[in-house]
Amino acid sequence: MAGAGEDDAAPPPPSPDRQQPMEEAAAAAKRSRSENHHGLADGPSFRMEDLPAEVQPVIISLLPLKEAVRTSIVSRSWTTLWRFHCDLCFDVDSNTDDNSAHQVNGTGTNDQSTNRYNTKITRAKFMETVNSVIQRHSGIGINKFSISCDLHKEDSHHLDKWIRFAASSKAKIIDFHRKISDYRVEEAPHFPLEALDAQGSSFVQSLSLASVSIKPRSGICRFTILRRLVLSSVQIFGDFPGLLAKCSRLEDLEIKWCSGVDDLIVPHTLDKLQHLLIAGMDVQMVEFHATDLAHFEYKGRVTPIVLHGCLKLEKATIAFEASNVLPHAFNVIPSISPVKILIVRAFISKYGQSLELPLRPQGMFMHLRHMTCKIIVLARDVNDYNGVLQLAHWLDSAPRLETLDLHLPMQMSYLRSGAFVSAEVAGVEAPCMRRHDHLKTVFMSGFQCYKSQIELACCILGNASVLEQLTVEAIWGDDDYGRICEWAEVTSKRFGKVITVLDAPLNSE
pLDDT in tens, 259-277: 999 999 999 999 999 999 9
Q: How confident is the model at residue 446, as a pLDDT?
A: 85
Q: Which range among 10-14, 155-159, 166-170, 398-402 shows the weakest confidence by mean pLDDT? A: 10-14
Identify whether 472 is part of a domain. no
Q: How confident is the model at residue 226, as a pLDDT?
A: 93
CB 458 within 8 A of CB 431: no
pLDDT: is 111 or 441 the higher one? 441
66 and 202 share one domain: no
Identify whether 478 is part of a domain. no
Residue 27 reports pLDDT greater than 70? no
What is the pLDDT averaged over residues 216-242?
A: 87
Identify whether 371 is part of a domain. no
Residue 203 reports pLDDT greater than 80? yes
Nearest to 399 by CA among 425, 374, 423, 369: 369
130 and 266 share one domain: yes
Identify whether 451 is part of a domain. no
Identify whether 213 is part of a domain. yes
Residue 20 reports pLDDT greater than 90? no
Tell me the pLDDT band of 452, cut-offs 50, 70 and 90: confident
206 and 64 share one domain: no
| % of the chain residues with pLDDT over 90 | 33
CATH of residue 166: 3.80.10
Nearest to 178 by CA among 139, 149, 205: 149
The most confident of 115-129, 141-155, 182-196, 383-397, by mean pLDDT: 141-155
291 and 229 share one domain: yes
Q: How confident is the model at residue 115, as a pLDDT?
A: 33
Nearest to 392 by CA among 414, 411, 370, 373: 373
Identify whether 184 is part of a domain. yes
Tell me the pLDDT band of 81, cut-offs 50, 70 and 90: confident
Residue 350 reports pLDDT greater than 50? yes
Strand runs (DSSP E) across 75-186, as ranges?
87-91, 144-149, 173-178
219 and 306 share one domain: yes
What 3-state class would DSSP assign to 368?
Answer: coil
65 and 151 share one domain: no
Identify whether 106 is part of a domain. no
Query: In angstroms, rounded to a whole number, what is the distance separating the alpha carbons of residues 115 and 100?
Result: 8
Nearest to 388 by CA among 373, 398, 372: 373
Burial of 427 (0-12, 13-18, 19+ CB in 10 A): exposed
Query: In angstroms, rounded to a whole number, what is the distance separating the alpha carbons of residues 83 and 331?
Result: 57
Which residues have C-beta within 8 Å of that of residue 92, sequence separation ≥ 6? 120, 121, 123, 126, 148, 149, 150, 179
Q: How confident is the model at residue 467, as a pLDDT?
A: 93
62 and 202 share one domain: no
Query: In angstroms, rounded to a whole number, what is the distance separating the alpha carbons of residues 244 and 248?
Result: 8
Helix (H) or strand (E) holding 26: helix 16-38
Strand 264-269 and strand 403-407: the pairing is unpaired
Q: How confident is the model at residue 503, as a pLDDT?
A: 76
Identify whether 11 is part of a domain. no
137 and 273 share one domain: yes
Nearest to 89 by CA among 151, 158, 174: 174
Using the CB atoms, write b or e for 439-450: b if 16+ within 10 Å: beebbbbbbbbb
Residues 107-138 have pLDDT tens digits of: 343 333 333 333 345 778 888 989 988 998 88
What is the pLDDT averaged over residues 201-218?
A: 88
Residue 160 reports pLDDT greater than 50? yes
CA angle 446, 447, 452 (to 5 degrees): 115
Tell me the pLDDT band of 24, cut-offs 50, 70 and 90: low
170 and 272 share one domain: yes
**Strands, sheet with 264-269, edge to edge from the N-terminal-most edge strand:** 264-269, 286-289, 305-308
- Which structural domain range is residue 67 located in? 54-85
Q: How confident is the model at residue 291, as a pLDDT?
A: 93
Residues 453-482 have pLDDT tens digits of: 888 999 999 999 999 899 998 875 545 788
Residue 427 reports pLDDT greater than 60? no
Q: How confident is the model at residue 234, as a pLDDT?
A: 94
Report CA 267 to chain centroid distance, whole Å.
29
Q: How confident is the model at residue 422, as a pLDDT?
A: 45
Residues 28-69 have pLDDT tens digits of: 555 554 545 444 445 556 666 666 766 766 776 677 777 777
- Structural domains counted in the chain: 2
164 and 72 share one domain: no
80 and 219 share one domain: no
Q: Which range among 47-56, 349-358, 500-509 shows the weakest confidence by mean pLDDT? A: 349-358
pTM: 0.78
Tell me the pLDDT band of 417, cut-offs 50, 70 and 90: very low
Helix (H) or strand (E) holding 70: helix 65-70
149 and 69 share one domain: no
Q: What is the mean pLDDT of the chain?
A: 77
Residue 321 reports pLDDT greater than 90? no
Q: How confident is the model at residue 401, as a pLDDT?
A: 94
CB 313 within 8 A of CB 336: yes
Q: How confident is the model at residue 26, as a pLDDT?
A: 55
Q: How confident is the model at residue 355, as a pLDDT?
A: 44
pLDDT: is 363 or 244 the higher one? 244
